[in-house]
Amino acid sequence: MTRPGWLVLEDGSQYAGELVLDAREPVGEVVFNTAMTGYQEVLTDPSYAGQMVVFTYPLIGSYGTRPEFSESRQPAARAMVVRELKDPSHALSEQSLQTFCAERGIGVLTGVDTRALTRRLRREGTLRGVLVDAATDRDAALRHLRGLDLTHIVDAVTTSSSYDCGPEEGPRVALIDYGLKTGITDELTRRGARVTVLPSSVSPDELSRLRPAGVVLSNGPGNPEDLGSCLDTVRAAIEKYPTLGICLGHQLVALSEGGRTYALKFGHHGANHPVLDRDRGFVQITAQNHGYAVDGEALPDGWRVRFVNLHDQTVEGLQHETRPVLTVQHHPEGGPGPHDGAYVFDEFMAMLAGRD
């Protein structure tokens, strides 16, 4: 049964709505997503771990949910904030979004002025927030925010042990999981790769013993600078193997080579971001979810910016001048979003073939 609730932000502002579901973890970073569809993929994208998602599209839930649309086995986002939560009206729906969220402990606040909330996040930047019952005192709600620590958030979403997927034959790809979306695995196995998914804590020696044909560094949540312990393995990968870095993996490649990253004011979260591929000379529309970017003015020797975000000119991907290493900040697998960037996986597989 719904009851009056609030999203209280760390700057003291609060947004009223109807609290449909309490969140298992009611505190998180509040970000907005501009995608018109794909809410299930967004909520299960591990890059949203530790965050609450404000959907700018006003009607959410209208086509229900299906198991195959989830991007991870576990819930990722802690809560969603919407203008209007709809019952499903689609022949292929197997479960309502409300039930989907209830089973996974994802909080739901509906009836919110998401336009005003989004404008504040754009103006002030990403803010921490807490979902509370309307009877909760604002000062008491703000005290909840003091315990929010996302330093080790990757540990919460990475696999606890390695596992294989895809065909038994074919080039072996080591896929390091910092918060892996299943869409990445699907794109690789669809192209004939024999994928071994590894925990984020994998050491250079463990990677070497696997003897992969290539390495993929996955997406994931949080600040890349918190993952200093992972950089030796990233460095070993790009020195020895054809490597593709995606989103957080892209940022870790830059850091491992002596580059820098920085926090974006309110991040890129949506499915309509135009990205220029300088090598191919065309613009692709991409899905994105990240709060940090690589500093294009501090690239180490041997690297060049290949992809550029046309909204704000931020770095969207790197190419090494002599080594078979490619990175992208956006999500080439889509899920949700367009699949304009899927050719990146073709380029990676061609790198493997070129090493035979």
CA distance 164 to 196: 4
In terms of C-beta distances under 8 Å and separation of at least 24 residues, what long-range contacts does 314-323 make, across chains too?
A: 314/264, 314/268, 316/275, 316/276, 316/286, 317/250, 317/275, 318/245, 318/250, 318/253, 318/254, 318/294, 319/279, 320/238, 323/238, 323/239
Active site includes 230?
no
Helix and strand numbers, DSSP H then E, in the chain: 10, 19
Annotated catalytic residue, options 29, 247, 257, 269: 247
CA distance 323 to 101: 44
Give, in degrees to the nearest 5, the angle at Cα 201 between 200 and 207: 90
Active site includes 247?
yes
Residue type, 197: V
Q: Give bridge partners of residue 292 from the DSSP assignment.
A: 263
Q: Give bridge partners of residue 245 from the DSSP assignment.
A: 217, 327
Active site includes 165?
no
81-93 exposure pattern, b = at least 16 Cβ within 10 A, e = fewer:
bbbebbebeeeeb
C-alpha Rg value of the chain to the nearest Å: 20
Q: What are phi and psi of 329, to 5 degrees?
A: -85, -30
Q: Which DSSP string corresponds to 183-224? A: HHHHHHHHTT-EEEEEETT--HHHHHHH--SEEEE----S-G
Annotated catalytic residue, options 41, 187, 316, 333: 333
Element (H, E) at 241: none
Element (H, E) at 122: helix 114-124
Tokens describing residue 342: 């899927």
Looking at 224-296, which runs of residues are DSSP E strands?
Answer: 243-246, 261-277, 282-294
Q: What is the sign of the dihedral through the CA atoms of 3, 24, 96 and 61?
A: positive
Catalytic residues: 247, 331, 333
